[in-house]
Amino acid sequence: MFTISHHTFGPFTEIKMENTGTGEYVTVIPECGGAVNQHFLSKGNKLVKVLKGFDNPHEWESKGIKDYYGVKLFPFPGRINNGTYQHEGNVYQLDTNDTKLQHALHGLVFNQTFALLNTQETEDFAQITLAHKSNGSAKNYPFAHQIQITYRLDKNGFECRSSIRNNDRRKMPVGDGWHPYFNVSTNADAMHLQVSSDEILEHDVALIPTGKTMTVNKYVQLSQIGDDPLFYCFKLNGGEAAHTTVLYDPETDVRINVRQQTGFRKYNYLQLYVPPDRSAIAIEPYTCPSDAFNSGIGLIELNPDEDFSLSFGISVQ
């Protein structure tokens, strides 16, 4: 049996989808852009902590929000150089919330409240749908649009599907992504990683892509991360239907599979990041790399009344 429950989480609400038979669950915080917070899946009779989430609302406020744990990255993942971009001859200035490098970082919805549209509980799955609308009045992103996110927990794991629609009368530049931090038993160095691509985007000292690519083939086969700084944006094979990143913990013998749709208007890039304390690993599905509003690399331009959808999912073995 799958259930859905609502809990007070400090000043926020946390919605929990749970498989009562296995104890597996995932929680979502609508007031923080629909962030995915806590996530546990089972391997055999053992419950595995998949995401490095927070069960304490004070820690969520002080660190989770600050470091973008589990948040939705819309309308751009990564950075926009100096927070400035042009579209159809107009120049727009975004807030430079990456204060160290003076870039705009990780979109505009991570601190927005998403409305709960519906819930569904059955013997086989639990599912919730959240939505967010903009009327296009924001000066830094003046495009009316709508986002719907459907989160689903079932016997196969967790899936998150986003649908994005342009409600404006102009073309709308769009990028999308997610920022889940995956849990590690000791630190990131001991973990093993596999990515079925060896092509990464070169970036400059300000972490903006240069337009060139480089080869990193270490992770084509499952390999220990070690002391690798692991700040890479991989370009994936968009001709395939999906890409699966594998994160393996030899201490617990747990394999986490992170599946992202690839192809036309899908998650064709994979950003990897390890925080300075190396206590987690961010495996981030992106539709485009950083600064796509300026470079055009991977940028989606939606016509008026046009929409698209895409998903990523998590399972364990």
119 pLDDT tier (thresholds 50, 70, 90): very high
Predicted local distance difference test score (pLDDT) of residue 186 = 87
C-alpha–C-alpha distance, residues 174 and 13, integer Å: 28
Predicted local distance difference test score (pLDDT) of residue 237 = 86
Q: Which two tokens stand for residue 14?
A: 């946390």
Predicted local distance difference test score (pLDDT) of residue 167 = 98
The CATH number of whichever domain residue 112 belongs to comes to 2.70.98.10
Predicted local distance difference test score (pLDDT) of residue 240 = 83
Predicted local distance difference test score (pLDDT) of residue 239 = 79
Beta bridge partners of 173: 301
Check pLDDT > 90 for residue 275.
yes
Please state the rounded mean pLDDT for residues 10-33: 98
296 pLDDT tier (thresholds 50, 70, 90): very high
Predicted local distance difference test score (pLDDT) of residue 254 = 97
pLDDT tens for 78-116 read 999 999 999 999 999 999 999 999 999 999 999 999 999
Number of domains in the chain: 1
Predicted local distance difference test score (pLDDT) of residue 94 = 98
pLDDT tens for 200-258 read 999 999 999 999 999 999 999 999 999 999 999 999 987 789 999 999 999 999 999 99
Mean pLDDT of the chain: 97
168 pLDDT tier (thresholds 50, 70, 90): very high
Please state the rounded mean pLDDT for residues 69-79: 98
Domain coverage including residue 209: 2-316
